[in-house]
Structure 1
Amino acid sequence: MKKYYLSLLIVVVSLEIKAQSADSIPRKNITIQKIINAPKIDGILDDEVWKNAPIATDFVERMPNNGVPAPDSLQTEVKILYDDLGIYFGASMKDPHPEKIMKELTQRDNIGADDFFFILLNGYNDRQQSMQFIVTAAGVQYDAKMTNGDEDNSWDAVWYSEVKINDDSWVAEIFIPYFALRFPNKKIQEWGLNMEREFHRTRSRYSWSWVDNTKGSFSIYDGELHGIENIKTPTRLSFQPYVSSYINNYDGKTNLNINGGMDLKYGINDAFTLDMVLIPDFGQARFDETVLNLSAFEVQFAEQRQFFNEGTELFSKGDMFYSRRVGGAPSSRATVSESEEIVWNPPTVDLINAMKISGRTDKGLGIGFFNAVTEQAHTEIRNIETGEIRSELVEPYANYNVLVLDQRYGDNSSVSLVNTNTTRAGNFRDANATGLYLSHTNKANTWNYRASTEGSWVLQENVKFGTEVQAGISKISGKNRVEAGLDLRTLDYDINDLGFSTTTNYVRYFGYYGYRYLQPKGFLNNMFLNFNLRHDRRLEPDLFSMNLFNFNSSFTTKNFFNFGGGFETTFTGKNDIYEPRVNGRHVKVPGYYDQWLWFSTDYRKPFAIETVVDWYKYDEKNRSLVVTEIKPRYRFSDKFNMNYNASYIVSSKEQGFVDFDEEDIIFGQRTRTTVINSIGGNYIFNNKISLNLAFRHYFSEAFYTQLYHLEENGDLTAEPERENIYDVTYNTWNLDLRFSWWFAPGSQITILYRNAMDSYVEQSRQTFNENFNYLFSHPQVNSLSFRLSYFLDYNRIRQGFNSLAFTDNPEKNRKMGKPNRI
């Protein structure tokens, strides 16, 4: 393995050798003024304070025609002011046809077919992470954290905005309180700032500070905001108490649950924030899209719980933290004798509480700490002969920790240390994993160099240690992009107690070449062509795994018709070292040739559709995989839209593991058919009230036609006499109907009706009626739930009880939660 670590060392040493001098690009700037009387946030810029406010103008097109000045007909002017409470923006955006302004109503944190105004504020002016605030022409708010061009829209802040459409323009008036921002405790502030306007009729984007799309990430092109002085970082303490009630009916039994709890957010100082969830309640989280999994690995599901989704930019470093492990399935299984059966097996573990601390110093050091504690879980087991029921502990009290240290330097570089730890009470499995990551971008923002190493320790009866090493170099500028790298994992690498990993014991070499249009050309707005080559080997003992070539493409016309396609092949076949489910064994898989096409129509139109056709053809007679997807969408009005997704997947003569027979490994040849139908709909009453539908039916069956014995050399030998007991059909049915009302800033009422069921039967080739009759013969979950959460800010509470803090300005009183003087 020394040669692999030597490769990593060569890449690391080359970091500074390849660095180039930065281009000298002056930063756009604006100096703003402090005001005493706050403007009324109503979308009308008629307050006295706006008359002499500094104006940011001269916006430049970012896409599709990068660098072209905005036309006079779309002139954009933004007035900016500040006071002791926060910062104010008044954006006036000309439009020659205001009646055509696109203003589809959506839920909060969603942008549909809309014009919008966009603010990026970076209190530390490090050109790496900004707070992002967007308001659409329909008045819908969207906020996120942007780190080196990547958005984390799970972050939510409380801020104020109103919009108004006029005869020749539309206006966005915005107030962002300081408690929604992060900045150093200094007398004179210097913030990074950029602003953008989306003109959706032509899908054009205009930015205040020009963004060069030939290189680097969006945030390095921030301008600067000057003039803010002598402001105090506010006490950032807020509470979000909630009450919830659930009426659940299952298998003829109805129960009522009433819960209460609270989320707490506290600003420890100007940079760091504590988040805590006390008595958690995740009963209204969206359903998981479960599948019939016949692979060697578990399925990774998206996180649906808001606390674990919010503010994750630090904890996602290195991909070592998979939050679904916290409160997920128990870590062990009960021991059941031949005379016993399982009555109840807990699918998840209850969360007692969780907290996280995160932030970044003015020197660029980001620190994140996460901790959670989970409850015990027991399996109930019944003795078939006596009927006696016993309980077995399958998950003890457990503690989960994540520590992240991330030091930024330059415009787009960082070095990070991540540690995850899982400690379970008693004689259960414990684990620890540590990763070190380096990402270096040269001063010209044209080349990126990266290197990382991870170690995992699993402690049960013995200590199991594994490692991963990665290194790469990539050109990130210009029309022509290239990349090369390697990835190595040892057999015992395992981060699955608090992370997610699948394949191990491999070394992988890969290369990439890409070509792109940086400006519209001919009938195209953009074009991307990508070529990828990969070589995989088993690490110990050495074994060729596969060579893979991939080409994929994407095109967008000037009429915003999107299309593309590609080709992929494992032309030399593959030695699959995972499907046998035994270390040291492999199965030979013939090479395949995969070709696909896709297109999507213009989503500015009321009707739009996307479709994909994907066909794998193997070097084996009649063996293939065909995937067809169709996704139509119709916008009936700015308030009402529906979408439908249908997938039809047929895998013919697929071969995969089915069972063990003592020392034998049994494979099966099967035809697998999967049909997925889902329907979504939204009726948005206004920018605060919505009704949403989500429905999904999933069907998958596997019909076996031949069973095999796996030979030591990877060949399959037919066993026609072996009994086929492996046919299977799986269905899931989920329906959510959700009513949401943001009745006050940060405060929400949600009413959810849920209907769900599933079925699993060890047979296939049922008729349509037989399948649905069997599915609906199973018990259904019918649930009606109500949840109310209310946002309470410490500053508003304090001022509400402090009559000396009253002002003569009704609007300021309202923002601070104070009654007006009489």
Structure 2
Amino acid sequence: MKSIIITLLMLGSLSLFSQENDSIPRKKVTIPRIVDAPKIDGVLDEASWENAGIATGFVERQPNNGRPIPDSLHTEVRIIYDDLGIYFGATMNDPQPDKIMKELTERDQIGADDFFFILLNGYNDRQQSMQFIVTAAGVQYDAKMTNMREDSSWNAVWYSAVKINETNWVAEIFIPYSELRFPKKNVQLWGLQMEREFRREGTRYSWSPINNAKGSFSIYDGEIYGIENIQTPTRLSFQPYVSSYVNNYDGKTHVNFNGGMDLKYGINDAFTLDMVLIPDFGQTKFDETVLNLSAFEVQYNEQRQFFTEGTELFSIGNLFYSRRIGGYPSGRALTGENEIVTFNPTTVDLINALKVSGRTDKGLGIGFFNAITEKTYAEIENTQTGDTRKTVVEPFTNYNILVLDQRFGDNSSVSLVNTNTTRADGFRDANATGLYTQLTNKSNTWNLRASAEGSWVMNDETKFGMEGQAGIAKISGKHRVQAGLDFRTKDYDINDLGYSGQTNYMRYMSYYGYRLLQPKGFLNNMFLNFNLNHLRRLEPDLYSNVVFNFNSSFTTTNFHNFGGGFETTPLGTKDIYEPRFHGWHVDIPTYYNTWLWFDTDYRKKFNLSMVADWYKFDEKGRGTLNINFRPNYRVSDKFKLNFQTSMNLSDKEIGFVNYTANEIIMGRRNRNTVVNSLGGNYIFNNKIALNLAFRHYYSEVEYSGFFELQENGSLLPEPGHSNTYDTTYNSWNIDLRFSWWFAPGSQISILYRNAMDSYLQEARQPLNQNFNYLFDQPQVNNLSVRITYFLDYNRLKTWFKSNDQDGPLQRNNMGRLN
């Protein structure tokens, strides 16, 4: 049956993928080469700008797609180039320049800002671009974009300045060739898109017109002509760092000093080597820990910059969960008679890591990643003799990933991903391989996707598992549809370098969506989505559930956003995961879930977001209420505060408790969780910032009854089971960070951190007692300073030459950048 469905999906789509390509005219601009470089100061008064190539005729992208830009907002961009890079000078008219929105933020963040946006594609393939944004406040934002996947963790070193005048604002930008990727050819032809955000009215304008009805906006790039005989620069940079940490925990203080370096080297015009030598990740953001009662581990976000930057290739297929590297040890400390574990590490030290990635002018992306972690020990003490010993809980381990990603057409690709984990000392090894394809027809109206993955875990014996999916989707117009299926076998396991989550299922999915593509009445846009999914257990076959979901979102012409939805499992659910044992399930009654949400106008100084989400089960007294409330206040363009509180109140839920030799114990419980977060930013200028992040997480669980799970999914009361599972958990975190980008790519960061948590086997504590117990726990107080400095090889060369020996281009470009 599965093979028939897949075959029908693929055969039925063949005619769709033979349509002719729409004629999409591409805008063009020809730019001249200059000798004397302009000063990057936001003033376009140098002679070099006089004969620049001019790009104008911007068109509204949203909300009124396709409407010409009004004369009052006339936008003109001058573009020139020289031996070192490309220059943009954008003049953007505004009839009320005193009202230009220019909130200061940290680098790589955009607040309530007008901004100017550049998308450069050195291979002109409409699939891989470098993105550069400068806001009206002078803040830089950059990212890599591949087929609409944006990697904003990528940081380039480029130069910009803005100036607000009486009738307009100007953005002047210089992007060195060292930050771009392009083929080694005498005559270059690059893809180009530029956009202007007019935040006051909530409109965005693009240079090359974009059709919002279909396709990704990258396929609407224009083109740059005129760039000839430029030399690909040596792309070699170093980022040495020094850091110091003062740690105080439970009355004990430790001080340490670290030093190391990150290295980037352009192997050729397409490929880059990134390497971290002597890693230091001590200033990463805290994890938002939770009390986890589910059948699956919590998947936390990656906070380490090396593992977030330039990883767009390695994220294909979701086989890579970088927190595995340097995370919790894979082994455990085994104790003998009269022995206890006195030290059990929760992390593993990283020795070094490197990645090589890039894409050829034929559209082939190649990525290679490798990391090595240190041998890690737990300490065990004999309580009678006092003797101590160490035992290995993680040996020397090598992690590597290989990715091949061939892009073709405007939005199509075939990808191969392989991940491998090799451990010494007889610990388990693992491998996973995936093959993925995405095919979009020439007119960008239909998309076909398919993938297959295999996992191999080698311990005492080899365990093999599979995952696969196939689907087809209409991706254009007001009416959109999608159908597909995916499955995972019982032994699918990528948890050595990935994250598996649910396994042993077959899922059938269908979707219909309606969207408003142009403003109508009081609405700027509208999205209506209907989903119908069916889940089954694979081995042994068992119905699990049918889920119907409707969700919606609306944006008004005043830029208020609201929506809601409804979801139900009309036939109930046979939960195959909560029992934690293969072949078992627990019956969950039908639920009805409804929710509402709204966001007020984000352009205002005060805006508010709120969500209310209610589950009601076909069982007396059983339900869940979720409320999320988030007010934000922009005190000034420099100072911003935000607060968030969320509550989850769950009554009479059923969950796994324990198991004995011959029975699975389930419990009926009430669970209340409250999370409060406070954030504040004071931005001194576009290079210096002070940030506060506070979070308190509180969760209590109180059990009211216990049951023995039966093989048919029902529950048999077990009144004799003792109540020792009530829980109260608190987590408290404060981060106060000062950051100063004192030079391009160079930063001083000072961080103060306070953290504590408490775990108590009681519930229904009075509020004051709960906080007293929390603050009686040992606290982490940490003060750290880290200094990084960016060194570019091309600039280092000039340091060893006198001014008389410097060429005019070196002096004019490097010496005139603000």
Q: Tell me the TM-score normalized by structure 1.
A: 0.98
SS at match of 2:684: strand
Distance 1:388 1:291 in 2: 36
SS at match of 1:34: coil
1:151 equivalent to 2:121? Answer: no
Per the TM alignment, residue 17 of structure 1 is displaced from its structure 2 partner at its CA by: 3.0
Check the 8 A contact 1:243/1:259 in 2, yes or no.
Answer: yes
Spell out the pairing of 1:544-623 with structure 2 (5 A cutoff): 544-623=543-622
Check the 8 A contact 1:148/1:218 in 2, yes or no.
Answer: no
Q: 2:813 matched to which residue of 1?
A: 812
Q: What letter matches 2:678 in structure 1?
A: I
Q: 1:45 matched to which residue of 2?
A: 44
Per the TM alignment, residue 52 of structure 1 is displaced from its structure 2 partner at its CA by: 1.9
1:383 equivalent to 2:382? Answer: yes
Distance 1:545 1:193 in 2: 49
Distance 1:778 1:491 in 2: 42
Distance 1:703 1:664 in 2: 22
Q: 2:208 matched to which residue of 1?
A: 209
Q: 2:753 matched to which residue of 1?
A: 754
Q: 2:114 matched to which residue of 1?
A: 115
Spell out the pairing of 1:339-418 with structure 2 (5 A cutoff): 339-418=338-417
Q: 1:92 matched to which residue of 2?
A: 91
Q: What letter matches 1:4 in structure 2?
A: K
Per the TM alignment, residue 809 of structure 1 is displaced from its structure 2 partner at its CA by: 7.5
Deviations 1:7-44, CA, capped at 9 Å, x for gaps: 33444455543211111122100000000000000000
Q: 2:229 matched to which residue of 1?
A: 230
Distance 2:596 2:181 in 1: 45
Q: What letter matches 1:310 in structure 2?
A: E
Distance 1:667 1:699 in 2: 23
Check the 8 A contact 2:263/2:274 in 1, yes or no.
Answer: yes
Check the 8 A contact 2:40/2:816 in 1, yes or no.
Answer: no
Deviations 1:459-502, CA, capped at 9 Å, x for gaps: 00110000011000000000001000000111000011001111
SS at match of 2:98: helix
Distance 1:668 1:798 in 2: 69
Q: 1:36 matched to which residue of 2?
A: 35
Check the 8 A contact 2:83/2:809 in 1, yes or no.
Answer: no
Deviations 1:506-561, CA, capped at 9 Å, x for gaps: 10001000000000000000000000000000011110000000000000000011
Q: What letter matches 1:638 in structure 2?
A: D
Check the 8 A contact 2:163/2:171 in 1, yes or no.
Answer: yes
Distance 2:90 2:606 in 1: 31
SS at match of 1:740: strand
Check the 8 A contact 1:415/1:438 in 2, yes or no.
Answer: yes
Unaligned runs of 5+ in 2: none
Distance 1:386 1:771 in 2: 39
Q: 2:297 matched to which residue of 1?
A: 298
Check the 8 A contact 2:572/2:591 in 1, yes or no.
Answer: yes
SS at match of 1:33: coil
Q: 2:15 matched to which residue of 1?
A: 17
Spell out the pairing of 1:258-337 with structure 2 (5 A cutoff): 258-337=257-336
Check the 8 A contact 1:441/1:449 in 2, yes or no.
Answer: yes
Distance 2:144 2:14 in 1: 30
Spell out the pairing of 1:445-456 with structure 2 (5 A cutoff): 445-456=444-455
1:795 equivalent to 2:802? Answer: no
Distance 2:440 2:186 in 1: 32
Distance 2:314 2:327 in 1: 18
Distance 2:720 2:297 in 1: 31
Evaluate the alpha carbon distance shift between residue 520 and residue 816 of structure 1 in structure 2; reply closer, same or farther with a 3 A threshold.
Answer: closer
Per the TM alignment, residue 380 of structure 1 is displaced from its structure 2 partner at its CA by: 1.4
Q: 2:238 matched to which residue of 1?
A: 239
Distance 1:276 1:815 in 2: 31
SS at match of 2:667: strand
Count how many residue pairs are aligned between Structure 1 and Structure 2. Answer: 815
Distance 1:702 1:811 in 2: 67
SS at match of 2:769: helix
SS at match of 1:582: coil
Check the 8 A contact 1:806/1:813 in 2, yes or no.
Answer: no
Unaligned runs of 5+ in 1: 818-822
SS at match of 1:493: coil
Distance 1:449 1:25 in 2: 22
Per the TM alignment, residue 341 of structure 1 is displaced from its structure 2 partner at its CA by: 2.1
Evaluate the alpha carbon distance shift between residue 16 and residue 408 of structure 1 in structure 2; reply closer, same or farther with a 3 A threshold.
Answer: farther
Check the 8 A contact 2:673/2:698 in 1, yes or no.
Answer: yes
Per the TM alignment, residue 338 of structure 1 is displaced from its structure 2 partner at its CA by: 5.7
Deviations 1:773-805, CA, capped at 9 Å, x for gaps: 111111100000000000000000012213322
Distance 1:310 1:808 in 2: 31
Deviations 1:284-331, CA, capped at 9 Å, x for gaps: 000000000000000000000000000111011001101001111001
SS at match of 1:686: coil
Q: 2:478 matched to which residue of 1?
A: 479
Q: What letter matches 1:774 in structure 2?
A: Y
Distance 1:100 1:675 in 2: 40
Distance 2:414 2:2 in 1: 21
Deviations 1:626-685, CA, capped at 9 Å, x for gaps: 001100000000000000000111110011001011121000000001010000000000
Per the TM alignment, residue 816 of structure 1 is displaced from its structure 2 partner at its CA by: 8.9
Distance 1:527 1:565 in 2: 12
Judge which range, 119-128 or 376-385, deviates more: 376-385
Per the TM alignment, residue 279 of structure 1 is displaced from its structure 2 partner at its CA by: 0.2
Q: 1:820 matched to which residue of 2?
A: none
Deviations 1:146-191, CA, capped at 9 Å, x for gaps: 1222311011100000000000000000000000000000000000
Q: 2:5 matched to which residue of 1?
A: 7
Distance 2:319 2:692 in 1: 34
Distance 1:766 1:24 in 2: 68
Per the TM alignment, residue 340 of structure 1 is displaced from its structure 2 partner at its CA by: 2.5
Q: 2:521 matched to which residue of 1?
A: 522
Check the 8 A contact 1:93/1:171 in 2, yes or no.
Answer: yes
Q: 1:166 matched to which residue of 2?
A: 165
SS at match of 1:774: helix
Evaluate the alpha carbon distance shift between residue 808 and residue 539 of structure 1 in structure 2; reply closer, same or farther with a 3 A threshold.
Answer: closer
Check the 8 A contact 1:188/1:229 in 2, yes or no.
Answer: yes
Deviations 1:211-265, CA, capped at 9 Å, x for gaps: 1000000100000000000001100000000000000000100010100000000
SS at match of 1:308: helix
Distance 1:443 1:336 in 2: 63
Distance 1:248 1:813 in 2: 41
Distance 1:809 1:483 in 2: 55
Q: 2:512 matched to which residue of 1?
A: 513
Evaluate the alpha carbon distance shift between residue 458 and residue 500 of structure 1 in structure 2; reply closer, same or farther with a 3 A threshold.
Answer: same
Judge which range, 16-25 or 789-798, deviates more: 16-25
Evaluate the alpha carbon distance shift between residue 264 and residue 809 of structure 1 in structure 2; reply closer, same or farther with a 3 A threshold.
Answer: closer
Q: Tell me the TM-score normalized by structure 2.
A: 0.99
Q: 2:686 matched to which residue of 1?
A: 687
Distance 1:293 1:86 in 2: 51
Judge which range, 667-676 or 381-390, deviates more: 381-390
Sequence identity, in percent?
A: 69
Q: 1:128 matched to which residue of 2?
A: 127
Deviations 1:688-744, CA, capped at 9 Å, x for gaps: 000000000000011000011001111011111211111111110000000000000
Displaced runs of 4 or more, over 6 A: none
Distance 2:718 2:109 in 1: 55
CA RMSD after TM alignment: 1.1
